[in-house]
Structure 1
Amino acid sequence: MRQQPSARTPPPLDGVDTTGSPHAQFLATEHWSLLATRSMTWNEIFSRTGTYLTVLSATVIALSLVANAAGFGQSFQTFALLVLPVALLVGVGTYFRLIEADIEDAWLVIGMNRLRHAYLELAPELEPYFVASHHDDAQGLLKTYSFRSRVGLTHWLSGSPVIVGIINAVVTGVLAAVICEAADAGVTLRTIAGVLAAVATAILLGIIGYRKVREVTRGYQPRFPS
């Protein structure tokens, strides 16, 4: 049964009279489409992270079995030099994909914030019922993500790209130490090389990730700032 039109005429959306038009249905359809795409993006984030951790766990188990069977001699070094680069390659690919997925997710949140702004143009009286933001600037993005205008260091450190990047740095350090051991380097030199390689990898991945985010946000202009 069709509902009778309200006595109150909703305000225009972008200068268009919305009386009797299905604007709300169009907006809701787009909102559900973005929400479904965001769900797929998060599933990919969890899937790729889980796949990398599975590959890394299998690599560690294989190295431990080889060490138990043949010790930490030349056979172990050869096997480690074969499997560790593969695990590191999977980890680096996972890190870059997680960065891209986070950027895509941010755009999806921006799109949904804009749709909420359109909802409020149609029905301003609904604003007290919205928990997420209806602004598409940085402040509105953070409010939708965490319901706060600012987030602390622990929030960023707990992100999937940061965790994967740190693991990649550790794997790089171990690989560097194994290479030094294969070259008959001393314990001190192996330790220093491993630590430096891990720190350099963490810094390099952080710089690359930061630049990717900056490339996207550099020319962005919000349409509905806070």
Structure 2
Amino acid sequence: MSDAPGIDPPPPADDRRPTADGLTDAQRSLRAQMLATEHWSLLASRSTTQSELLTRIAIFLTLVSAGLVTLSVLGNVTGFRGWFGVAAISVLALLALLGFITQTRVLNGMTEDLAYVIAMNRLRGAYLDLDPGLAPYLLSSANDDRLGAHRTYFPFGPRPSQPFASSMTVIASVESAMVGLLIGAVVTAFGGGTAVAVGVGVVIAAGWFVLWARIGYVRYREVFGTYTPLRPTPHD
């Protein structure tokens, strides 16, 4: 009893007392720690994946530069005659193969990155379940659907130039050029004229780029076609 008559002191704090969501303060604190640990794990995995993709792209671009310089040296030595055609096709075929492997890995990495973004959006939703007052301070989305992923990728609104500045566009452009050069070299080796070789190479390169752009778009749509969000974006 307090000194003031008729006034009882407030009950002592008890972290075992359940709150409105049925969790005690201790349970809420433990849940927040576990969510934060998972969040950091996702951040580390995303950073590792992006670092790996950039390293693979850098290695491929280095090999392309070295291969083209090698062909120019061989061309000066052989006068672009004799066995130069075989050497050119072999080098370009190797570069195209390495580019295909790198391009496939970058495409898979894009899907992984999207998965990390969705997972972190879900964790933000769990943070808001613990403390709804955090909502005004979150720049990234707490919704794990397609619109939520868009907001996390583009917090200040969509940027039309983003697809043209992506790593996938860079690797697809270089690989398309390699495939076009390879096909042009093969056409020349079989007696095709320069104009025919250039025309066929350009068409193949453009088709290769469009094909991979389509594959990337379909892969992106498939993710949200098979995934059921836990916290979809509310609509008016």
Check whether TM > 0.5. yes
* 2:224 equivalent to 1:225: no
- Residue aligning to 2:52: 44
User: Residues 63 and 27 of structure 1: is their aligned pair in 2 closer, same or farther, counting only changes over 3 Å?
Assistant: same
Larger Rg, first or second structure (1 or 2): 2
Deviates more, 1:208-217 or 1:189-198: 208-217
Q: CA deviation at 1:157?
A: 1.3
Distance 1:5 1:101 in 2: 47
Take 2:56 and 2:138, find their aligned partners in 1: how far apart are those partners?
A: 33
Q: Determine if contact 2:140/2:155 at 8 Å carries over to the other structure.
A: yes
Q: Decide whether the 8 Å contact of 2:145 with 2:224 is kept in 1.
A: no
> Of the candidates 127, 141, 150, which is equivalent to residue 142 of structure 1?
150
Cα distance in 1, alignment partners of residues 34 and 138 from structure 2: 19
How many percent of aligned residue pairs carry the same amino acid?
35
AA at the equivalent of 1:223: L
Could you report, residue by residue, the CA deviation over 1:139-169 in whole angstroms, capped at 9, with x for unpaired residues? 21122122134231x1011111121111111
Structure 2 SS opposite 1:218: helix
Would you say the 8 A contact 1:11–1:18 is kept in 2?
Answer: no
Give the deviation of 1:206 after TM superposition: 2.3
CA positional deviation for 1:78: 1.2
**Aligned partner of 2:190 among 183, 187, 191:** 183
Residue of structure 2 in register with 1:203 after alignment:
210
Partner of 2:134: 126
Q: What amino acid maps onto 2:145 in structure 1?
A: D
Aligned to 2:5: none
Say whether the 8 Å CA contact 1:142–1:148 is kept in structure 2.
no
State the distance in 2 between where 1:72 and 1:140 align: 55
Q: TM-score, normalised by structure 1?
A: 0.89
Matched, 1:62 2:56: no
SS of residue paired to 1:20: helix
Question: Cα 1:57–1:191, aligned 2, differ >3 Å: closer, same or farther?
Answer: same
Change (3 A) 1:69 1:185: same
**Number of aligned residue pairs:** 218
One-letter code aligned to 2:107:
I
TM-score, normalised with respect to structure 2: 0.85
Residue 193 in structure 1 maps to residue 200 in structure 2: yes
1:19 and 2:32 equivalent?
no
- Gaps spanning 5+ residues in structure 1: where? none
| Matched AA of 2:193 | G
| Higher alpha-carbon deviation: 23-32 or 129-138 | 129-138
SS class of match (1:37): helix
Q: Distance in 2 between matches of 1:207 and 1:168?
A: 15
Contact 2:42 2:116 in 1 (8 A): yes
Distance 1:74 1:204, change over 3 A: farther
C-alpha contact (below 8 Å) 1:140/1:149 kept by paired residues: no
**Any idea what SS the aligned residue of 2:112 has?**
helix
Conserved in 1, the CA contact under 8 Å of 2:122 and 2:231?
A: yes
